[in-house]
Amino acid sequence: MRTIIGILLTCDPAVKQILLSMNEKHSFIIEDLDDHHLVIKADEEYRVRKELEAELEKNTYSLE
Amino acid sequence: MPVAQPYVYAENSTTVETPHALLPFLQSQSQSTLTRLYQRPSSCLSIFRLLAPLERQLVMNLLWLESAIQPSTMGAWVIREGKKIYEEALTNLSRLHILPNPTAKLALNGTFKTSFRQALTGGGTSGSFGVPAEPDDKRATPDIEALDGYALERWETILHYMVSSGTGQHPTKPSQGVLFLLDRSGLMGSFHGSPLQITSAGFQFLLHTPHEQLWDLLLQYLHLAEERQMDLVEVLGFLFMLSTMELGREYSTENLSGTQKAMLEDLRDYGLIWQRRPSSRRFSPTRLSTTLTSSSPPLPTSTGTSSGPQEGFIVLETNYRIYAYTDNPLQTAVLNLFVSLKYRFPNLVVGSITRDSVKKALMNGISADQIISYLITHAHPQMRKNNPLLPVTVQDQIRLWELEKNRLKSQEGYLYTAFASQADYKFVLDYAKELDVVLWENSSKRCFFCSLDGHTNIKGFIERRTMVANP
């Protein structure tokens, strides 16, 4: 038996795909659990959140 | 026609009346504190006014009975559907020690009964409703308009200070006592010695109704009073006394205890009472204090003062545009929390709800439901003709923006994996489940994820097991 410390991310499948592609550039995923869950390195959470937000922000348009 | 709630996660806002914020605090007090409080007729009357209608009904039924009655006698009145509400009412009353031991016999607390009877019929010389000051021929008593203006100015100073902290503006500072209370209550906080900044709890506070805000602050004051070793009975008794006083009348400070005289200064800062001079031997309650336990609005309704209209002033259109008929800087500042403002006219502010403005509000800890409920409470009378009141598109979009922010949920913990056998896996998992620390599991992969604080327990459990297996 093994234990790994990490952070469990719960998300929708679309966000998971974005995370997977982010992982190719800079690896941070420890374990891919299922469609909605991932375990990532604990110290990467802040960076991942920032990067994900920037990625999602690309898909929104504002009239202003 | 009622519109179906389109999203399951949007919590259904039921219209069940929530108990008054003070009641849980009273229920947490000891029996002796409460009994001492019940010696004051004004406190009994005020608490009675805070109770739910059914509880009031029960108290009234028992008030003039000399002897106790059997629970079954009262129970015969209750229809089956009402049983649960009835039992709840009994429990609430017993927690307040108004109705001690409701399962054995129904009778009011003796002290409460005597005092409340006195409150209703008059008599007694306890002066618990305040002692009016002798009329002074030289100085006229302050008129109601002046008192309202004073209360409003004080109250809005506090709110305005909160709302504009961190925006670079420097509005008038409330007194040290108020600042201390805001800091202690967590509505504002200072980070690394910086000046006080509004917190997420503070933002939520701003969207409450004035009555709720007032009690929020007073509850904090009560907690503080407990820490300062002030006598709670004196403090509560004084607040209740104020709440039964008459607006526009002057009362004498001579019958007040030392604690209560000390409170005068604090309450003056909050705008609950008015005094000509700090050393004056008379004081007048303002509308903020006389409405503490009633349902009338705590701030003046007349539009003659500097404040904006009290009934609704917001018009929201389906195209996310918002028109706010107000010239009140406080209301404008509150709107600025979640609206991007465009134009300003002498009596009108125009803006629109955008993704960015709502996102900013969400970042500050305001929830979508709070924004929506603020818009509903302050909707312009013209809007009330619409059903539903707010355009559904806008409501839904605000909720969607909130969901967008929560697309990623993270929990720290440990992943347990690579178990030798299914039996081992099941054994550890069952133990973790018992502790209720499992966040995710998958039996075909033989792994599970447990929360951080569960880990030590599970580790200890496994070690104990291996010790037993291989001594």
Residue A33's CATH number: 3.30.70.1220
Q: How far apart are CA B284 and CA B282, in angstroms?
A: 7
Would you call B410 and A7 a contact, using CB atoms and an 8 Å cutoff?
yes
Residue A1 lies in a domain: no
| Residue B371 shares a structural domain with residue B457 | no
Q: Which of B351, B385, B405 is the last residue before a domain boundary?
A: B405
Classify B282 as helix, strand or coil: strand
Instruction: Indicate the residue type of B439.
Output: L
Instruction: Indicate the residue type of B463.
Output: E
| Residue B212 shares a structural domain with residue B245 | yes
Q: How far is CA B144 from the centre of its chain?
A: 27
Window A:23-62, CB contacts with B under 8 Å:
30-31, 33-34, 37, 39, 42, 45, 49, 52, 56, 60, 62
Q: Which residues pair with residue B451 across a beta bridge?
A: B413
Positive or negative: CA dihedral B276, B278, B283, B289: positive
Report the mean per-residue pLDDT for chain A: 87
Residue A47 lies in a domain: yes
| Residue B396 shares a structural domain with residue B372 | yes
Cis peptide before B41 (omega within 30 of 0): no
Residue B136 lies in a domain: no
| Residue B371 shares a structural domain with residue B464 | no
| Residue B245 shares a structural domain with residue B191 | yes
Instruction: Indicate the residue type of B76.
Output: A
For residue B305, the model assigns a pLDDT of 36
Residue B300 lies in a domain: no
Residue B14 lies in a domain: no
Would you call A9 and B404 a contact, using CB atoms and an 8 Å cutoff?
no
Residue A28 lies in a domain: yes
Would you call B412 and A1 a contact, using CB atoms and an 8 Å cutoff?
no
For residue B306, the model assigns a pLDDT of 37
Contacts of B105 (CB under 8 A, 6+ apart): B68, B69, B70, B71
For residue B316, the model assigns a pLDDT of 94
Residue B4 lies in a domain: no
Which of B354, B404, B420 lies closest to A1 in CB terms? B420
Residue B264 lies in a domain: yes
| Residue B229 shares a structural domain with residue B249 | yes
Q: Nearest CA to CA, how far is A28 from chain B (Å)?
A: 14
Q: Are strands B348-352 and B340-345 parallel, antiparallel or unpaired?
A: antiparallel
Query: Average pLDDT per run of 10 along chain B, which is 471 residues long?
Result: 39 54 89 90 91 90 88 87 89 90 85 90 75 74 84 87 75 83 85 75 82 88 86 90 87 85 87 85 87 74 42 89 88 88 92 91 86 88 88 93 86 88 88 88 88 87 80 60
Residue B396 class from Cβ within 10 Å (0-12 exposed, 13-18 middle, 19+ buried)? middle
Shortest CA distance to B289 belongs to which of B191, B137, B150?
B150
Task: Identify the domain containing residue B333 by its residue range.
Answer: 314-405
Nearest residue on chain B to A41, alpha-carbon basis: B412
Task: Identify the domain containing residue A29 by its residue range.
Answer: 7-57
* Residue B463 in contact with partner chain A when CB distance is under 8 A: no
Which runs of E-coded beta strand occur in B286-421?
314-316, 321-324, 340-345, 348-352, 408-417
| Residue B276 shares a structural domain with residue B187 | yes
Which of B407, B412, B455 lies closest to A7 in CB terms? B412
- H/E stretch holding B189 reads strand B188-189
Residue B150 lies in a domain: yes
For residue B292, the model assigns a pLDDT of 85
- A–B: how many Cβ contacts below 8 A? 80
Would you call B415 and A6 a contact, using CB atoms and an 8 Å cutoff?
yes
| Residue B90 shares a structural domain with residue B193 | no
ipTM of the complex in this document: 0.86
Shortest CA distance to B428 belongs to which of B409, B403, B454?
B454
Q: How far apart are CA B404 and CA B408, in angstroms?
A: 9
For residue B471, the model assigns a pLDDT of 60
Sheet containing B447-451: order of strands: A29-34, A37-40, A2-11, B408-417, B447-451, B438-442
Q: Nearest CA to CA, how far is A32 from chain B (Å)?
A: 11
Contacts of B381 (CB under 8 A, 6+ apart): B311, B312
Beta carbons within 10 angstroms of residue B175's beta carbon? 16
| Residue B256 shares a structural domain with residue B196 | yes
Residue A2 lies in a domain: no
Sheet containing B273-274: order of strands: B251-252, B282-285, B273-274
Number of domains in chain B: 4
HSE on the CB side for B369, CA within 13 Å?
Answer: 7
Residue A24 lies in a domain: yes
Number of domains in chain A: 1
Residue A63 lies in a domain: no
Residue B12 lies in a domain: no
| Residue B188 shares a structural domain with residue B252 | yes
| Residue B383 shares a structural domain with residue B439 | no
| Residue B101 shares a structural domain with residue B169 | no
Shortest CA distance to B165 belongs to which of B193, B195, B210?
B195
Would you call A15 and B416 a contact, using CB atoms and an 8 Å cutoff?
no
Beta carbons within 10 angstroms of residue B122's beta carbon? 9
For residue B353, the model assigns a pLDDT of 94
Q: Which of B258, B290, B322 is the last residue before a domain boundary?
A: B290
Would you call A56 and B411 a contact, using CB atoms and an 8 Å cutoff?
no
Q: Which of B397, B406, B415 to mutate to test the interface with A (most CBs of A within 10 A)?
A: B415
- H/E stretch holding B164 reads helix B144-164
Residue B299 lies in a domain: no
Q: How far apart are CA B270 and CA B288, in angstroms?
A: 9
Q: Nearest CA to CA, how far is B409 from chain A (Å)?
A: 5
- H/E stretch holding B273 reads strand B273-274
* Residue A18 in contact with partner chain B when CB distance is under 8 A: no
Q: Which of B350, B372, B405 is the last residue before a domain boundary?
A: B405
For residue B468, the model assigns a pLDDT of 77
Q: What backbone phi and psi angles, to 5 degrees, belong to B440?
A: -155, 145
Task: Name the token pair of B432.
Answer: 């973790």
Domain CATH code at residue B442: 3.30.70.2610
